[in-house]
Amino acid sequence: MEITKTDATLLAQLINRIRPDWDTRALTTLIGKNRTNIPNLAALTIAATTKAQDPTCKTPAPIFIPGPHWPTETHRHLPPPPPCQDHPEEPAHNCRCCWSEIKTGQRAQTDLGKTPAVGATTTQPPEAPQEAAK
């Protein structure tokens, strides 16, 4: 079942009630762009409301990335997530190679999944906790 424009608009309004910082028009557009990949409105509603309640999710884009917020039977219908620009075999949103570079100070966290700008500075890895003097 394809998600209709009316479905997208109503769901966007619902999600906006949960997350007022997520614009209704942007949500409607995002749902519209992905509506042919979704098996049914119920699965999309579950995924969208779950992500909307996640305070670490800053934008609605991750709604359409496969993950535990989707009912299991819908995973095969979802398109694959975009690849990392530097490590195309890894998904951009959670590239293991980028994370290792972030943890060692070779890449800024803002460059997760994308090629750092020319001349971009890296960050220092976090300091190891020091043992308290006895």
In this structure, of 12-16, 22-26, 78-82, the range with the lowest mean pLDDT score is 78-82
Report residue 70's pLDDT band, with 50, 70 and 90 as the boundaries.
confident
Cα separations in angstroms, 73 against 39, 69, 79, 80, 89: 9, 12, 14, 15, 24
pLDDT at res. 115: 86
- Please give the Cα distance from 35 to 45 (Å, whole number): 12
pLDDT at res. 38: 82
pLDDT at 94 over 80: yes
Q: What is the DSSP letter of 86?
A: S
**3-class DSSP state of 80:** coil
pLDDT at res. 71: 79
Mean per-residue pLDDT, 74-87:
79
Domain limits of the chain?
5-77, 81-120
Report residue 5's pLDDT band, with 50, 70 and 90 as the boundaries.
very high
Report residue 128's pLDDT band, with 50, 70 and 90 as the boundaries.
low
Mean per-residue pLDDT, 106-134:
69
pLDDT at 46 over 90: yes
pLDDT at 32 over 80: yes
- Per DSSP, helices labelled H in the chain are 5-18, 24-34, 41-52, 96-103
Each residue of 104-113: pLDDT tens digit? 999 998 898 8
The pair of structure tokens assigned to 45 is 């509603």
- Crossing angle of helices 41-52/5-18, nearest 10°? 20
C-alpha closest to that of 107 among 93, 119, 118, 123: 123
pLDDT higher at 46 or 36 = 46
